A = this chain, B = another copy of it.
Amino acid sequence: MALVPPHGGKGLVCCLLTGSELEDEKKRAAGLKKIPISAQAKGDLIMMGIGGFSPLDGFMTKADWKGVCENMLLSDGTFWPIPVMLTASKADSDGINVGDDIALEREGEIYATMNVTEKFEMTEEDKKWEAEKVYKGEGEDSQGDFLKTALEDHPGVQMLMARKEICLAGPVKVLSEGEYPTKYKGIYLKPAQTREIFEKRGWSKIAALQLRNPMHRSHEYLCKIAVETCDGVLIHSLIGNLKPGDIPADVRVKCIDTLVNNYFVKDYVVQAGYPLDMRYAGPREALLHATFRQNYGVNRMIIGRDHAGVGDFYGLFEAQEIFNKIPYATYEEACKVPGKALLCQPLKIDWTFYCFKCDGMASMRTCPHTKQDRVILSGTKLRKMLSEGAEIPDHFGRPEVLAILRKYYEGLTEKVEIKMQKAASGEDMK
């Protein structure tokens, strides 16, 4: 059995230049007009660079944007669930015409050059329409005046509405992977690399666990169900940007290492990270997660409770249900439109927890007992307990992992205390 092919039917589309091509383009880029880009666009560019966003080779045109928002289809009929846009202010884009080459820059570094094939305005109304189409869900926070609530509480919608008014579309040449190859050495793997690992191991049915939080018993259980039923599992952490207050990637990676070392059979696990920022788009982002995982060689995307959700914008299992509603939703239909359809299928798992009566991990599908029998902790409560050094209930997490998190929170507290001491002594004022 072979690995699932990359999405889009064109193999891995990698826009990253190397060798002398890279050096020449860097020189050329220095002379081009520079456009500042967002952190999100930087992540998108690196994904295009390494083939993670195959078949995309640049930012979307108006037709692509419209098709993706409306039907999750690019203008050529290929499935894609979330817009990938490059925007610039009117001032920055002034004088840029179709046909021009520009350089895309962030914090002093040029990440790519782009040949502009289309320039179009995106009004406030357009963005609001996109927000409704892409980010609105069935959860409580999406009811009533969704946009008002989202503007206050939805980081994804906030980023969308903060996008500039001019869109620039066109193919890119990527010049840099930023800090990822050095900062996350050994963890930051490109799709070609995970594919090589899977092939060497003889795997073809491969599940991915999406992670943006530390891994506790419930995530471990999802992962182990995948190990029991697939050839192996890719524990795939977001190493791009998160909301403030979330646990940084290096701490999470350390937690996963420890967990894998102590509680997994290593032959069946690969740990890696990918350079995207969270969009918190719930169901649509779950589809994006499955789409780019296909490029990494994965054909089963684990979708648990409130996948990629934020606040109460999405129904707890809306990110599972959307897989039944996409174009070419069944594997049979998908096989009929080679290259166009998503081939990475969801591995849907219910709300999981430890249950004393079950004497082990379980989910709402397998445990007939009551709330009182189960160990359930909200993320907020857990963070509070960890930062206060409180005892975490038995069976919630692995002691080795909790020790790492405790140390991290102690460090945070120390930093805050030092800051407060400095403030009290007037040191900060000097």
> Can you name the residue of chain B whose Cβ is closest to the Cβ of A362?
B224
Q: A225-B225, A360-B360, A395-B359 are in contact. Are A263 and B368 (CB under 8 A)?
A: yes
Question: Within the complex, what minimum Cβ distance (angstroms) separates A242 from chain B?
Answer: 28
0/1 interface trace, chain A 384-422, chain B, CB 8 Å (1 if under): 000000000001000000000000000000000000000
CB-defined A-B contacts under 8 Å, sample of 8: A224-B366, A225-B228, A225-B229, A228-B349, A228-B363, A228-B366, A265-B365, A360-B360
A347 at the interface (CB under 8 A from B): yes
A125 to B367, CA, bound (A): 54
Q: Is the CB of B227 within 8 A of A366?
A: yes
Q: A229-B225, A360-B359 are in contact. Are A365 and B395 (CB under 8 A)?
A: no
Q: Give the most central of A228, A266, A364, A368: most B CB within 10 Å.
A: A228
Question: Chain A residues in contact with chain B, CB under 8 A?
Answer: 1, 224-225, 227-229, 262-266, 268, 330, 332, 335, 347, 349-350, 354, 357-368, 395
Question: Within the complex, what minimum Cβ distance (angstroms) separates A347 from chain B?
Answer: 7
Q: Which residues of B contact A229 (CB under 8 A)?
A: 225, 229, 347, 349
Q: Which residues of B contact A365 (CB under 8 A)?
A: 227-228, 265, 268
Q: Is the CB of B330 within 8 A of A366?
A: no
Question: Within the complex, what minimum Cβ distance (angstroms) separates A330 from chain B?
Answer: 7
Q: Which residues of B contact A363 (CB under 8 A)?
A: 228
Q: Give the most central of A332, A361, A364: most B CB within 10 Å.
A: A361
Q: A228-B225, A228-B350, A347-B229 are in contact. Are A366 and B264 (CB under 8 A)?
A: yes
Question: Within the complex, what minimum Cβ distance (angstroms) separates A321 from chain B?
Answer: 13
A240 to B349, CA, bound (A): 36
Q: Is the CB of A266 within 8 A of B368?
A: yes
* Total identical chains: 2
Question: Within the complex, what minimum Cβ distance (angstroms) separates A351 from chain B?
Answer: 11
Question: Within the complex, what minimum Cβ distance (angstroms) separates A430 from chain B?
Answer: 52
> Can you name the residue of chain B whose Cβ is closest to the Cβ of A358?
B263
Q: Give the most central of A227, A332, A365: most B CB within 10 Å.
A: A365
A225 to B366, CA, bound (A): 9
> Can you name the residue of chain B whose Cβ is closest to the Cβ of A329?
B1
Contact check: which of B265, B349, B366, B395 meets A366 at CB < 8 Å? B265
> Can you name the residue of chain B whose Cβ is closest to the Cβ of A349?
B228
Q: Is the CB of A368 within 8 A of B228?
A: no
Q: Which residues of B contact A265 (CB under 8 A)?
A: 364-368
> Can you name the residue of chain B whose Cβ is closest to the Cβ of A363?
B228
Question: Within the complex, what minimum Cβ distance (angstroms) separates A5 from chain B?
Answer: 13
A366 to B217, CA, bound (A): 13
Question: Within the complex, what minimum Cβ distance (angstroms) separates A360 from chain B?
Answer: 3
> Can you name the residue of chain B whose Cβ is closest to the Cβ of A225?
B228
Q: Which residues of B contact A224 (CB under 8 A)?
A: 362, 366
A293 to B330, CA, bound (A): 23
Q: Which residues of B contact A264 (CB under 8 A)?
A: 366, 368
Question: Within the complex, what minimum Cβ distance (angstroms) separates A91 from chain B?
Answer: 53
Question: Within the complex, what minimum Cβ distance (angstroms) separates A86 from chain B?
Answer: 39
Question: Within the complex, what minimum Cβ distance (angstroms) separates A328 from chain B?
Answer: 14
> Can you name the residue of chain B whose Cβ is closest to the Cβ of A229?
B229
Contact check: which of B332, B347, B361, B367 meets A360 at CB < 8 Å? B361
- Contacts A263-B368, A360-B360 aside, 12 further interface pairs with beta carbons under 8 A come to A224-B366, A228-B349, A228-B366, A229-B229, A229-B347, A262-B368, A263-B357, A263-B358, A265-B368, A266-B368, A268-B365, A359-B395
